[in-house]
Amino acid sequence: MERDSDNTQQVKPDKPGVYIHTFGCQMNEYDSQKLYKIFEKEYQPVSDVTQADLVLINTCSIRDKAEKKLYSMLGELRGLKRERPGMMVGVCGCVAQQEGENIVKYGRGVDVVFGTHNLSLAPSLVQLRKNGAAPQVAVNYREEWEELPLGFADVDLTKNGQKQHVTSFISISRGCNKSCSYCIVPTTRGPEVSRAVEEIEREARIAVHRGSKEIVLLGQTVNSYGLDLQPRVSFVALLERIAAIPGVERIRFTSPHPQEVRQDLIDFVSSNSKMCRHIHMPLQSGSDRILKAMNRNYRRDKYLSIIDALKSRVPDMAITTDIIVGFPGETEEDFRQTLDLMDLVQFDNSYSFTFSPRPGTAAAAMQDLLSQDEKAERLQVLQRKQEEMTARRLASWVGKEVEVLVDNRNLNREGCLQGRTSQNVMLNFDVPYEGLKIGDIVKARVVAPKRFTLQGELIR
Ligand code: 5AD
Ligand code: SF4
């Protein structure tokens, strides 16, 4: 899921400002939070880049488009640097890890570059540069978990100017041991390293203490957590520990890999009341031939059997996914198989992308006969199908009672609130309710579907 975000804060006159622009996934959002925390002593977050003394761009290289955005942003920052002498510009995240020195060479005006394993070095790199050293680059891998300051910075990464801590994202592992042939993550994030259970628990407790009701555990293949720890810890054992923390009301995780979804996970997800009724499980393709070429070590039957097992236990479980269209060698028939699988699963939502060749990946060297137009056309067909499916899924909620965690203001209606159902669907209230506040978990009746959301009324 690719999202961009800025930060919104009130500025104090006495402290220099830091502005972080985050591209890409929730893992990057988490890292940006940590960076605010790392810099918290010396810098205050500012919402406007023109007030910043330090600008960090947390980059994404999952697809070509995300990477291009970095270079256009660096161009704009060079202009700003001329107006604000002394302003420091840093590049971090996946493109930084991948390109290292090249960013300093070609990205003119960049003062520091640090990779995905070197966040804790950032302040010293900035200091060295401020003291007159050459542009600094740190992109070494680590074999162990890089423990960063525990907890969360007092900064809002959403765009609407509110500080909501109702949901907290917590990274539980970094990197990936798979080698999907299209994917650059194993290069930019390195092999998988799991974080100690105790650290995750401590962070979850801190989250609860600052008002979180919902914890989202993050990892590239989140369900292979713990296999590298001594002694081994299973992902389900971690879920049990988090579920046992008083004050944690809801638990989500993203993204599980189908290959590692075993019976214990299905059992826990379908029986523990704190586990949200939603799973985001990347499919990538519905064709076995393409799954094989992608080096995804499961086939459509396995994917379908996981969905069946979940839905037979929890009929209202929401299923969302990621799909790539136009992978090298994808025929009309392969594509049809993906559409067919969508019909079988009835995804509540999906994030779909056209294949983007990434440097150094196996798929980048495969013969790619489809034109960009053909890929775009397939994507459009798939997305239209998904829109219809999403509309049907949303309409099926009308009249039903749902549990909502209130997490924000309703941006379209003064004085009203909104929240998320256990299925992760946004639900808007369109009248203000006396006493209802952000952080409440309430029952609501669904009144009507909107394009991507639901409208509901509070049940007292
Ligand atoms: N091209 C297109 N999409 C990609 N993804 C990962 N790598 C590529 C690529 N090279 C998609 C996958 C993944 C999501 C985060 O991004 O669907 O699940
Ligand atoms: Fe990339 Fe595959 Fe690892 Fe996901 S599981 S991060 S797609 S290599």
Residues composing the chain: 460
Nearest in space to 249 (alpha carbons), one of 219, 203, 211 = 211
**Ligand closest to the CA atom of residue 221:** 2
Q: What single letter denotes the amino acid at residue 109? A: G
Query: 42 CA to middle of ligand 2, Å?
Result: 36
Phi and psi at residue 256, to the nearest 5°: -80, 150
CB-facing half-sphere around the CA of 419: CA atoms within 13 A: 25
Crossing angle of helices 122-130 and 26-39, rounded to 10°: 60
Q: What per-residue confidence (pLDDT) applies to 151?
A: 84
β-pairing verdict for 250-254 and 17-22:
unpaired
Q: What per-residue confidence (pLDDT) applies to 7?
A: 45
CA distance 148 to 119: 8
In order of 90, 98, 370, 383, the CA distances from 184 in angstroms are 22, 9, 21, 24
Q: What per-residue confidence (pLDDT) applies to 1?
A: 40
Counting from 1 in the atom list of ligand 1, the atom nearest the Cα of 351 is 17
Q: What per-residue confidence (pLDDT) applies to 10?
A: 58
Residue 186 near ligand 1, beta carbon < 6 Å:
no
Name the residue with the closest Cα to ligand 1, atom 16: 62
In order of 195, 216, 244, 396, the CA distances from 233 in angstroms are 11, 18, 16, 39
Is pTM beyond 0.85? Reply is: yes
Q: What per-residue confidence (pLDDT) applies to 11?
A: 61
Q: What per-residue confidence (pLDDT) applies to 85?
A: 86
Residue 220 near ligand 1, beta carbon < 6 Å:
no
Name the residue with the closest Cα to ligand 2, atom 1: 183
Residue 183 near ligand 1, beta carbon < 6 Å:
yes
**Ligand closest to the CA atom of residue 362:** 1
**Ligand closest to the CA atom of residue 259:** 2
pLDDT tens-digit profile, the chain (460 residues): 444 444 445 566 678 999 999 999 899 999 999 999 999 999 999 988 999 999 999 999 998 887 788 888 998 999 999 999 899 999 999 999 999 999 998 867 999 999 999 999 999 999 999 999 999 999 998 888 888 888 888 776 555 545 568 999 999 999 999 999 999 999 999 999 999 999 999 999 999 999 999 999 999 999 999 999 999 999 999 999 999 999 999 999 999 999 999 999 999 999 999 999 999 999 999 999 999 999 999 999 999 999 999 999 999 999 999 999 999 999 999 999 999 999 999 999 999 999 999 999 999 999 988 999 999 999 999 999 999 999 999 999 999 999 999 999 998 899 999 999 999 999 999 999 999 999 999 999 999 999 899 999 999 8
Residue whose tokens read 């970094």: 174
Q: What per-residue confidence (pLDDT) applies to 384?
A: 98
